[in-house]
């Protein structure tokens, strides 16, 4: 296949399986409900429940602004990364001898280099769409927050229903942001393929382990679980 070896194909298959397998484990399984992302989703709902009691919502709009600014930063970074990949496509004659001379580096053709670069570009395009959509969803959430009435005795159901709508939009926006970041992490593993398929496999395994650890056994999750449990015991 245009010069790719069986090891190259196996590395790509492992990369795809790792990405989709991690996605399924975190977002579609019961075990994924205990991940750091899911625990933080509960705090998104609690935030909105607290918001309805506040007439002055400067704190809430400040937090929203921070979320939107962070998302916009990653969306802009994705565009810069896409530009960098396009530059790689035009510089194959220059960089091929350099990569071939690296330790464990393998010789590659211009066509193979271009196909690898296109694959990397696809990852960054996917990340851009995720971050851009997440940014848009945070905008929608800001509009919903503006429409949430202050909680009173005569509008409790209406206020809480609107707050939950805002929280659900917040959670969906966070999910797409997490998927964009996931693409960034896996793009780092993908870079190993430019040197060697063996490095590609090792880097993919390393990224997978780091992401799993952060979601399920990190200090950040432990802090949330401790607070999470203490709150529920009250």
Predicted confidence at residue 230, as pLDDT, reads 47
Q: Residue 131: count other Cβ atoms within 10 Å of its Cβ.
A: 27
pLDDT digits (tens, 9 = 90+) for 11-63: 999 999 999 999 999 999 999 999 999 999 999 999 999 999 988 899 999 99
**Torsions phi, psi for 108 (to 5 deg):** -145, 155
Local confidence band at 233 (pLDDT 50, 70, 90 cut-offs): very low
Is 139 within a domain? Answer: yes
CA distance 156 to 167: 16
What's the pLDDT tens digit per position in 111-146? Answer: 888 899 999 999 999 999 999 999 999 999 999 999
Give a yes or no: residue 15 inside a domain.
Answer: yes
C-beta neighbour count of 34 within 10 angstroms: 13
**Residue 1, in any domain of the structure:** no
pLDDT score for 228: 47
- For residue 96, tell me if it sits in a domain: yes
pLDDT higher than 50, residue 232: no
Asked if residue 231 has pLDDT above 70, the reply is: no
> Does position 100 have pLDDT exceeding 50, yes or no?
yes
Give the per-residue pLDDT at 107.
Answer: 63
Q: Assess if residue 188 is contained within a domain.
A: yes
The domain tally of the chain equals 1
The answer to whether residue 213 is domain-embedded is yes
- Burial label, 165 (beta-carbon count in 10 A; 0-12, 13-18, 19+): middle
Sign of CA dihedral 105, 212, 165, 149: negative
Domain region containing 148 = 6-233
Residue 103 has a pLDDT of 64
Let me know if residue 24 belongs to a domain. yes
Query: Tens of pLDDT along 157-196?
Result: 999 999 999 999 999 999 999 999 999 999 999 999 988 8
């Amino acid at each position: 296949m245009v010069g790719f070896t069986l090891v190259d194909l196996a590395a790509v298959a492992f990369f795809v399986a790792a990405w989709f397998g991690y996605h399924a484990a975190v977002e579609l399984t019961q075990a994924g409900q205990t991940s750091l992302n899911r625990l933080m989703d509960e705090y998104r709902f609690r935030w909105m429940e607290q918001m309805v009691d506040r007439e002055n919502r400067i704190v809430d709009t400040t937090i929203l602004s921070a979320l939107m600014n962070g998302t916009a930063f990653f969306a802009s970074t994705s565009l810069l990364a896409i530009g960098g990949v396009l530059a790689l496509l035009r510089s194959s004659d220059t960089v091929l001898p350099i990569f071939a001379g690296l330790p464990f580096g393998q010789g590659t053709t211009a066509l193979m280099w271009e196909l690898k670069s296109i694959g990397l570009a696809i990852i960054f395009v996917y990340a851009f769409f995720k971050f851009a959509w997440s940014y848009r969803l945070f905008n929608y959430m800001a509009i919903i927050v503006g429409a949430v009435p202050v909680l009173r005795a005569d509008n409790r159901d209406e206020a809480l229903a609107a707050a939950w709508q805002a929280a659900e939009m917040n959670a969906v926006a966070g999910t797409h942001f997490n998927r964009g970041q996931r693409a960034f992490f896996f793009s780092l593993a993908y870079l190993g393929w430019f040197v060697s398929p063996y490095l590609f496999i090792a880097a993919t395994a390393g990224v997978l382990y780091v992401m799993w650890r952060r979601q399920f056994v990190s200090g950040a999750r432990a802090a949330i679980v401790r607070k999470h449990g203490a709150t529920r015991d009250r």
